[in-house]
Amino acid sequence: MKRLIIIGEGQTEQAFCKDILQPHFNKFDIFIQNPTISKSGGGIVEWVHLKADIERFLRSSDASVTLLIDYYGIKDKHSFPGWEESKRIPDKAKRMDYLESAMSQDIEETRNRFIPYIQLHEFEGLLFADERVFDRSFTQEEYDDYEYLQATFREFKNPEDINDGSKTAPSKRLERILRDYTSNKPSTKAFWGPMLAGEIGLDQIRRKCPRFNQWIENLEQI
């Protein structure tokens, strides 16, 4: 069995790997380990620390290593390779490609086993892959702003395009839409995220989210 290490930001990503991704990758004889970023209480850290994690896992095993981190959380202070140059690329998908390539080039050892990935814009964007799931999962009493949910689906055909504004990022939208969702509470996000993703199904998420789908295809080939 092949091993795949997916370094994520916190509990939400860990639960998603365990509950959603692992059953899929069983078909490819791939076992997933999903540690969180060290030196992080949840969320992103400076590239120098994340790079140390990546290289440590590459050196200590024969596993392939990838990431499940959000573009939304990365700031100037995190000093990711190619960060300043990437800002001049208006197309966000191409900007992610540039950043991923820069990360790969900055990994000096066993680079062939590193599959860089940045989720555009935020993991919670994947949860907008099927409007019908909201309709059958929640009652009207569980919504704070059902009209905003509908407006979000009308505006964004590709959930990965839901933007990274401080009030309009996917998790912030969910907080406005659902009465019991709290975007800054890890245990809440770790429950709602995998639950909704499981209701949507990995196949539907892949159909609606092209960058995410390409990442899954790349991982299937390790």
What whole-number distance in Å separates Cα of residue 148 and Cα of residue 181? 15
Task: State whether 14 and 39 are in the same domain.
Answer: yes
Say if residue 116 is in the same domain as residue 135: no
Are 145 and 176 members of one domain? yes
SS3 190: helix
Spatial neighbors of 83 by CB under 8 A, at least 6 apart, are 74, 76, 99, 102
Three-point CA angle 95, 85, 42, nearest 5°? 65
Q: Are 12 and 76 found together in one domain?
A: yes
d(CA 198, CA 200): 5
Place of tokens 């993991």: 123
pLDDT tens track for 33-51: 999 999 877 789 999 999 9
Angle separating helix axes 47-60 and 92-106, nearest 10 degrees? 60
State whether 44 and 112 are in the same domain.
Answer: yes
pLDDT greater than 80 at residue 88: yes
Confidence bin at 209 (pLDDT 50/70/90):
very high
Residue 78 and residue 20 share a domain: yes
Kindly state the average pLDDT of the residues 60-87: 96
Q: How many domains, the chain?
A: 2
For the cut 70, the answer to whether the pLDDT of residue 139 exceeds it is: yes
pLDDT one-digit tens code per residue, 145-204: 999 999 999 999 999 999 878 899 999 999 999 999 988 887 778 888 999 999 999 999
Q: What is the pTM of this model?
A: 0.95
What pLDDT band is residue 110 in, cutting at 50, 70 and 90?
low
CATH number at residue 70: 3.40.50
pLDDT value at position 50? Answer: 97
Give the pLDDT band of residue 104 (cuts 50, 70, 90): very high
pLDDT at 132 > cutoff 90: yes
Contacts of 47 (CB under 8 A, 6+ apart): 78, 79, 80, 81, 103, 106
Say whether both 74 and 172 belong to one domain: no
What is the residue-averaged pLDDT of the chain?
Answer: 94
Question: What does the chain come to in residues?
Answer: 222
Burial class from Cβ neighbours inside 10 Å (0-12, 13-18, 19+) for residue 135 reads exposed
- The arithmetic mean of pLDDT across residues 79-93, rounded, is 97
**Same domain assignment for residues 46 and 97:** yes
Is the Cβ–Cβ distance between 65 and 114 less than 8 Å?
yes
For residue 51, count other CB atoms closer than 10 A to its CB: 17
26, 11: one domain: yes
Radius of gyration of the chain (CA): 17
Mean of pLDDT values over 55-61:
93
Domain hosting residue 115, numbered range: 2-121+206-220
∠ CA 15-62-209, nearest 5°, is 40
211 and 171 share one domain? no
